[in-house]
């Protein structure tokens, strides 16, 4: 715990926050390695939030790592509003969105100077990892999304969270089928009724509930888990994504261990003596530079913290030592929450030399297989929880 964290924040056009500097600031206090995942949709916000010079300082000091997703996944709808409506996972990529093209263009817009923009782009690009999906990612996504049992569990969790007024008492039907390289959806969700509730919290200009949107949420959870497992890091998540990830992981793990009474254990770890660092940054009460000033001291103790088991007294001792006589020590108190995840009762030996792929009778998608294989080999996808969305789901009994 506390060794590494992956922050993959959504763009303004998707569900979730725009880029949140407060989460990054708070993560830097606790974690030895903080990796921010950038897409072409939010790279501009990241550059403007940090400023190009500030980002260079962070990357060159090794306080922050930046990975650029050159390709994005989404759900395309064809034959809309007809009996033949279909959905397909698609990858969005274009030469102009590759890092070597997109980054200089953004920096020239930000600085207003072509030469300076190109120079800054060269310095930043040297410290950025460009991440690309495997060639068969859309085929893998089709297989994963055609898993009705898992998709229905995640959709049910999403609906109870975002639209708690919409009754699922009669049981949710969200059956996904595969039709060549496309997907079909049979559902009993009344989207007109559901959207009447949904749009009380989320404006129509932001998004509207539909089968494609729900499939996109499932795909987004899979992507978050994929990238966190790729880097074997913990995950920064809000209240809602915690529930969606939990539903996705539980369903896959239960299928893997059917009849063996195995389980994924999800345990709350709450540090009651934290301080409102993220809130101070979000409000502008403190600047990000103020956080940078305490990081050298934090780095002295983070390696020690990473070697310790999750223990409130240990975390308290670390936090007090790092923040003593700093501005953080004067901030209001708050609780900081993690979800600590462990796989109980099954090990790599039980799977054979080939890992999950050798277990007979287990039908898992490629992304699920990759993620679960990492978990069973020791990766712990603990979640660093941002509670700022709790006001949206205040009446949801599933959220602790």
Specify the residue for token string 């700093």.
326
What is the average per-residue pLDDT within 245-267?
67
> pLDDT-based confidence at 349, cuts 50/70/90?
very low
* Angstrom distance (rounded) from CA 116 to CA 109: 10
pLDDT of residue 194: 93
Model confidence, pTM: 0.80
What is the average per-residue pLDDT within 45-49?
87
How many percent of the chain have pLDDT more than 70? 84
187-191, 224-228, 334-338, 360-364: range with highest mean pLDDT = 187-191
Q: Tell whether the model's pLDDT for residue 65 goes beyond 90.
A: yes
Domain holding 335, by residue range, is 4-393
* Angstrom distance (rounded) from CA 246 to CA 236: 14
CA distances from 143 to 109, 201, 250, 259, 356 (A): 41, 32, 18, 24, 16
Q: Tell whether the model's pLDDT for residue 153 goes beyond 70.
A: yes
- Through-space distance between the first and last CA atoms of the chain, rounded to whole angstroms: 21
pLDDT of residue 87: 92
The mean-pLDDT minimum among 15-29, 249-263, 282-296, 314-328 falls in 249-263
What is the average per-residue pLDDT within 296-324?
85
Return mean pLDDT, the chain: 80
How many percent of the chain have pLDDT more than 90? 20
pLDDT of residue 310: 76
Q: In a 3-state reduction of DSSP, which class is residue 39? A: strand
pLDDT of residue 231: 87
- Count of domains forming the chain: 1
Q: Is residue 398 part of a domain?
A: no
> pLDDT-based confidence at 301, cuts 50/70/90?
confident
The mean-pLDDT minimum among 144-158, 172-186, 369-383 falls in 369-383
Query: In 10 A of CB 50, how many CB atoms?
Result: 21
Tokens representing 36 are 């921010």
pLDDT of residue 343: 64
Q: Is residue 136 part of a domain?
A: yes
pLDDT of residue 48: 87
Query: In sequence order, which residues have a C-beta less than 8 Å from that of residue 328 and are 6 or more positions away?
Result: 29, 275, 277, 294
pLDDT of residue 195: 94
Q: Is residue 315 part of a domain?
A: yes
Q: Is residue 44 part of a domain?
A: yes
């Amino acid at each position: 715990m506390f060794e590494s964290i992956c922050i993959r924040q959504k763009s303004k056009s998707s569900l979730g926050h725009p880029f949140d500097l407060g989460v990054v600031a708070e993560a830097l206090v606790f974690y030895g390695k903080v990796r921010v995942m950038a897409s072409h949709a939010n790279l501009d916000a990241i550059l403007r939030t940090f400023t190009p010079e500030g980002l260079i300082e962070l990357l060159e000091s090794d306080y922050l790592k930046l990975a650029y997703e050159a390709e994005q996944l989404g759900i395309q709808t064809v034959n809309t509003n007809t009996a033949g409506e279909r959905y397909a996972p698609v990858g969005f990529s274009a030469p102009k969105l590759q890092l070597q093209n997109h980054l200089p263009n953004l920096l020239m817009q930000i600085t207003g100077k072509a030469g300076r923009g190109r120079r800054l782009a060269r310095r930043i690009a040297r410290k950025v990892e460009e991440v690309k999906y495997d060639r068969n990612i859309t085929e893998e996504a089709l297989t994963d999304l055609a898993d009705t049992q898992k998709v229905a569990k995640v959709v049910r969790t999403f609906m109870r969270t975002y639209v708690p007024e919409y009754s699922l008492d009669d049981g949710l039907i969200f059956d996904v089928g595969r039709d060549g390289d496309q997907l079909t959806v049979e559902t009993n969700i009344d989207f007109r009724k559901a959207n009447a509730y949904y749009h009380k919290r989320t404006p129509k200009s932001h998004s509207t509930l539909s089968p494609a949107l729900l499939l996109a949420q499932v795909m987004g959870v899979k992507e978050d888990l994929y990238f966190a497992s790729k880097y074997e890091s913990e995950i920064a998540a809000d209240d809602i994504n915690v529930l969606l990830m939990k539903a996705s992981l539980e369903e896959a793990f239960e299928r893997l261990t059917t009849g063996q009474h195995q389980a994924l254990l999800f345990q709350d770890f709450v540090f009651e003596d934290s301080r409102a660092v993220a809130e101070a940054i979000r409000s502008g009460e403190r600047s990000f530079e103020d956080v940078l000033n305490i990081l050298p001291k934090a780095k002295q103790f983070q390696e020690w913290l990473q070697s310790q088991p999750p223990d409130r007294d240990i975390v308290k001792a670390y936090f007090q030592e790092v923040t003593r006589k700093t501005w953080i020590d004067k901030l209001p108190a708050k609780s900081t929450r993690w979800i600590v995840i462990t796989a109980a009762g099954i090990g790599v030996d039980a799977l054979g030399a080939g890992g999950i792929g050798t277990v007979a009778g287990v039908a898992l998608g490629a992304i699920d297989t990759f993620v679960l294989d990492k978990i069973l080999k020791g990766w712990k996808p603990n979640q660093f929880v941002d509670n700022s969305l709790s006001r949206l789901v205040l009446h949801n009994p599933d959220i602790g």
